[in-house]
Structure 1
Amino acid sequence: MIPSHARPFRGIYAATLTPLDARDRIDEERLAAQFTELAGHDGIVGVLCNGHAGEVFLLDRAERRRVVEIARESIGDRAIIVSGVLAEESREAQRHAADARDAGADALLVFPPFSWALSQEPGMVLRHHRMVAEAADMPMMLYQAGVGAGRMAYPPATLARLVELPQVVGVKEGSWESAAYDAHRRLVAEVAPHVEMMASGDEHLLSCFALGSDGSLVSLAVLMPDEIVALDRAVARGDIPAARALHARIQPLANAIYGAAPGGFATVRLKCCMELLGRWPLGHGRPPIGALDAGERQRLRIALAHAGLLEMVA
């Protein structure tokens, strides 16, 4: 549900996970419970489903649609539902976009196909987004991917043209580097001031919030929704001591999940945390990722304890 006020897409969104059962099928009951629980937290304005944290790259078309349906059934009357659209081919992306719209999504987050990391060209970037918008004329967010991912992050000139598309309402800015975030924030503010710039690098929330942000779409909010909302609010009111205290709790867990190699384990680390916290019986990813080993699990236990989420037993 999109609120009726002037800047409805501003705020903190939790990028949700996809729980699996022992046969690697979507655990629909726990997925619905996750949506319901997160939407109940003050300051969480919506969810991003079918994102990287939701293992969109490992879900087939029917599963992606079903995830949105469950979100709509669970929280459609009280939170914004953003669904990721990830496809290598633009017509396939159109089909996924239409599916998300018909299943009840309020907005789309369009991902750059992975192959573009090596072959990005402004014309194809714009063509892809225009085709998605044509298939599902609805609010659309851009994904400004990580600098560390090679050349996936859109160059300034390309980003400037993208934010001028009439459907674009926000940017999930995940450059994972504060200076790049600030440069993109300033660019969008100049070219398209109506577009929300959302600092979404889970390891850089304090610095990016301090530079200025219209919200955030982050998977760490699955574990620490109240703390991330409180961090955003503390920075907004200029309470730096409170912000630093929250940062001291949030940052070690963010580093343990996103900062350790291999970076591709971030999603399964989040899912393992859900298991370690007793929220889910299983915290594995689909093959080829699978489950974490004992060393990884212990490292996450320690990080959860430092964050105040788990009591360590001697």
Structure 2
Amino acid sequence: MSDINFHGIIPAIAVPFNADYSINEPELRRFSKWLGGQEGVTALMTNGHTGEVFSLTPRERAEVTRITADATRGICPVISSVVCEGINDAVEQAGWAKEAGAAGLDIMPPHHWLRFGFKPEHCLDYFNAIGKASGLPLVVHIYPAWTRGSYSSELLAELARLPYVKAFKMGEREMNKYARDIREIRAADPTKVLMTCHDEYLLSSMVQGIDGALVGFASLIPGLINDLLKAVKAGDLHEAMRVQALINPLKDAVYGAGEPTGEAHGRMKAAMALAGILSDGTVRPPTHAPSATELAAIKAALAQAGILQKAAA
């Protein structure tokens, strides 16, 4: 299996588009190379929600992974999300991702589970099929506790015992279940890596004893999130609170009072353009660009954090 260090910052990357909504390959190469080289970044993840994955065709998802993996060769490995409705489709797309250069796979729940629910054996069969076919390390992408695609603590413990599963992207967004899931996974296999994906409340999720962060927000503020994780791991709560205070205005401007959404990803891309990280913030329909009021709030938050027009070299 490929060697991926999950004990760090793994940005779920945004994808730059041209004005006609095609993938901007030169910009994606430049951005991926810059982001992969940031302090504390140990891998990049393509085809997450931040990457507007549901606006991409399966072949485009493989192309995004190919471009990113090629641009970051010798810098950091790339993980690709698999977003499918069935086992055969998942195995096929996992194979495309591996051929494109993915060193690992993030496995999202099939979205018909959100409508109809699922049995634990459905989930275990899904992960076993992808793991056996790809031979790549797998990340379990945990959905919010309120969804029908949420995994029970007992099922997460079973997943932790699978040899293909190496890490968990912890996105429960309900702190009692989050703490319970951490305990159950640690008890099942303490070698499995736990990563917060709670972009909108990083500090409170990090202090639960996690190992890293796999968040879309790190496309915009990798340095601040790395500083926060370092402070938490060092037990320096005062420093962690100082860094979180810098993050909060940006968090409010991008995510508001809720969870990450398509429109939030559009606001984050706008922030990346204002910070000079991307050349522009074009999003694919049906996601809309932020309003003038939202842009003003984003610009003010970037200025307060000291990253307005800090271009990515």
How high is the TM-score relative to the length of structure 2? 0.92
**Separation in 1 of the partners of 2:2 and 2:250?**
31
Deviations 1:74-99 (CA, angstroms, capped at 9, x unpaired): 11222121100001122111111001
Q: State the match for 1:120 in structure 2.
A: 118
Q: State the match for 1:182 in structure 2.
A: 179
**Separation in 2 of the partners of 1:299 and 1:151?**
34
Equivalence map 1:71-86=2 (5 Å): 71-86=68-83
**Separation in 2 of the partners of 1:266 and 1:95?**
30
Q: Which deviates the most, 166-175 or 274-283?
A: 274-283
Q: Within the alignment, does 1:44 sit opposite 2:44 as a pair?
A: no
CA contact (8 A) 2:5 2:42 kept: no
Q: Given the alignment, which residue of 102, 123, 127 partners 1:129?
A: 127
Deviations 1:31-80 (CA, angstroms, capped at 9, x unpaired): 11111111111111111111111111111122111111112211122212
Partner-residue secondary structure (3-state), 1:151: coil
Partner-residue secondary structure (3-state), 1:154: coil
Q: State the match for 2:102 in structure 1.
A: 105
Q: State the match for 2:156 in structure 1.
A: 159
C-alpha RMSD of the superposition: 1.9
**Separation in 1 of the partners of 2:214 and 2:73?**
18
Q: Given the alignment, which residue of 295, 300, 310 partners 1:297?
A: 295
Deviation of the 1:229 alpha carbon: 0.7
CA contact (8 A) 1:2 1:9 kept: no
Partner-residue secondary structure (3-state), 1:185: helix
Deviation of the 1:224 alpha carbon: 1.0
Query: How many residue pairs end up in the alignment?
Result: 307
Structure 1: any 5+ residue segments left out of the alignment? none
Between 1 and 2, higher relative CO (CA 8 Å, sep ≥ 6) is seen in 2
Q: Which deviates the most, 73-82 or 274-283?
A: 274-283
Equivalence map 1:154-233=2 (5 Å): 154-233=151-230
Q: Which deviates the most, 205-214 or 175-184?
A: 175-184
Equivalence map 1:3-22=2 (5 Å): 3=3, 8-22=5-19
Partner-residue secondary structure (3-state), 2:207: helix
**Separation in 2 of the partners of 1:155 and 1:139?**
22
Q: State the match for 1:255 in structure 2.
A: 252
**Separation in 2 of the partners of 1:121 and 1:269?**
36
Counterpart amino acid of residue 129 in structure 1: F
Deviation of the 1:256 alpha carbon: 2.5
**Separation in 2 of the partners of 1:182 and 1:193?**
15
Change in CA separation of 1:224 and 1:2 when aligned onto 2, cut-off 3 Å: farther
Structure 2: any 5+ residue segments left out of the alignment? none
Q: Which deviates the most, 23-32 or 176-185?
A: 176-185
Counterpart amino acid of residue 132 in structure 1: I
CA contact (8 A) 1:284 1:292 kept: no
Partner-residue secondary structure (3-state), 1:147: coil
Counterpart amino acid of residue 233 in structure 1: K
**Separation in 2 of the partners of 1:110 and 1:221?**
20
Partner-residue secondary structure (3-state), 2:79: strand
How high is the TM-score relative to the length of structure 1? 0.92
Counterpart amino acid of residue 11 in structure 2: A
